[in-house]
Amino acid sequence: MLRRVFGRRGEFGWQGVIGAAMCLAVSAVAASAQDHVEHDPADIEYGLAVYLAECASCHGEAGDAVAGVDLRSGQLRRGATDRDLIGVIRNGIPGTGMLAFELDAAEMAGIIAYLRNMTYEADAVTLGDAARGRAIFEGRGACLDCHRVGGRGPRAATDLSAVGAERAPSALRRSLLDPTGTMRPIDRPVELVTADGERVTGRRLNEDTYTVQILDDDARLRSFDKADLRELRVLTASPMPAYGDRLDADELADLLAYLVSLKG
Ligand code: HEC
Ligand code: HEC
């Protein structure tokens, strides 16, 4: 579906070229300033989908359909910084046709990345087909061995049911390619040995100087006084395998599309 969208954007590319030629030097300077903003292609591409769904009805696919506003010019009166842009999108512009939008964190990251890169042409499709991605998630990828989605999967597993609302597509892709590098400290798996020799593995829900609360691998919530433990080890490697070698680029794109679609 996104492939088709990009095909259509190709046609708009010509309008963009003509438009840019007419705007002469001013926009050339703006465009080169914009080029320094690095956004991940996955965020930009997701932002395009959000843009087409939410914004294009008024602003047009090329971003120039509202009189006096050219979203691809790189010169937004009210959008000098990303924070300004977020404010305009969240609050709208009272007294004008610009509505207030309730976007989740991932959609907002996407739309900002896209607005800053509206002239971007994707050469690689980084978001694939969500239905195929779901089949990989539940089948060959065996993600349900360690994750829960919509009540399926082991009870103690990390729940991904809303991960598409909480994380930007680029962050999700990094998690797939480099789980250890992207693991948050609180998510590090722990191994401990109690005073009477019991070995417990799981992940921390909470920790302070004296105590640690653990969800063990059998999904039991357990609390320990650190002083009573014989051993407490926090592992730095994620148990999750890196998928860069296990799945090809199309499969990764499909899986990413599925994760992005998980909105809780
Ligand atoms: C119902 C029509 C409508 C929709 C939908 C809409 N806009 Fe707007 N937008 C407007 C109008 C009209 C203005 C100009 C307001 C003014 O008069 O300053 C505007 C202005 C803006 C501006 C300020 C431009 C500048 O030069 O500072 C930004 C940024 C913007 N819109 C982004 C968005 C985004 C992103 C979306 C989708 C999430 C969106 N708009 C959806 C009508 C719309
Ligand atoms: C052997 C267990 C295991 C398998 C298999 C596994 N994961 Fe994970 N995954 C984890 C654990 C544990 C975490 C949380 C800690 C971390 O980031 O390493 C995690 C984290 C994640 C995150 C980041 C979540 C966040 O909140 O940012 C994503 C996304 C993810 N996994 C997707 C997948 C997908 C998709 C698959 C299948 C292709 C998969 N995982 C397979 C154990 C696993």
Q: Is the pLDDT of residue 186 over 50?
A: yes
Q: Kindly state whether residues 16 and 98 are assigned to the same domain.
A: yes
The confidence band for 13, taking pLDDT boundaries of 50, 70 and 90, is very low
- Residue whose CA is closest, atom 16 of ligand 2? 183
Q: Can you tell me whether residue 148 is helix, strand or coil? A: strand
Residue 12 has pLDDT above 90, yes or no: no
Residue 169: per-residue pLDDT: 87
| Interval 192-208 mean pLDDT | 93
Q: How does pLDDT run across 93-102, given as a tens digit for each residue?
A: 999 999 999 9
Same-domain check for residues 9 and 72:
yes
Best residue among 48, 50, 57, 58 to mutate for probing ligand 1, ranked by most atoms within 8 Å of CB: 58
Strands 199-207 and 211-216, how do they pair?
antiparallel
Q: 158-183, pLDDT tens digit by residue? A: 899 999 999 888 889 889 999 998 88
Range of the domain at 253: 130-183+242-260
In this structure, the residues whose C-beta lies within 6 A of any atom of ligand 2 are: 137, 141-143, 145-147, 158, 160, 163, 167, 172, 175-176, 179, 183, 187, 238-240, 243, 255, 259
Catalogue the long-range contacts made by 71-74 (C-beta closer than 8 Å, 24 or more residues apart).
71/115, 71/118, 72/16, 72/118, 72/119, 73/23, 73/27, 73/30, 74/27, 74/30, 74/31, 74/33, 74/34
Q: What is the pTM of this model?
A: 0.68
**Assigned domain for 124 exists:** no
Which of 49-53, 55-59, 73-77, 84-88 is least confident? 73-77
- Cα 93 to Cα 60, 77, 84, 154: the distances in Å are 18, 12, 12, 46
Tokens matching residue 238: 């994620």
pLDDT category of residue 37 using cuts at 50, 70 and 90: low
Q: Which residue's C-alpha comes closest to atom 5 of ligand 1?
A: 55
CATH code of residue 155 = 1.10.760
pLDDT at 5: 33
The stretch 28-45 carries a mean pLDDT of 60
Contact present, 156 and 71 (Cβ < 8 Å): no
85 and 178 fall within a common domain:
no
Q: Encode pLDDT of 120-149 as tens digits.
A: 554 445 789 999 999 999 999 999 999 999
| Structural domain count of the chain | 3
Residues 43, 71, single domain; the answer is: yes
| 177 and 147 in a common domain | yes
- Residue 28 is assigned to a structural domain of this protein: yes
Does one domain contain both 223 and 101? no
- The answer on 142 and 189 residing in a single domain is no
**Inside any domain, residue 158:** yes
24 and 35 belong to one structural domain: yes
Ligand 1 close to Cβ of residue 6 (< 6 A):
no
CATH number of 103's domain = 1.10.760.10
191 is a domain residue: yes
Q: pLDDT at position 109, please?
A: 93
Same domain flag for 36 and 106: yes
Same domain, 63 and 16: yes
Ligand 2, atom 41, residue with closest C-alpha: 143
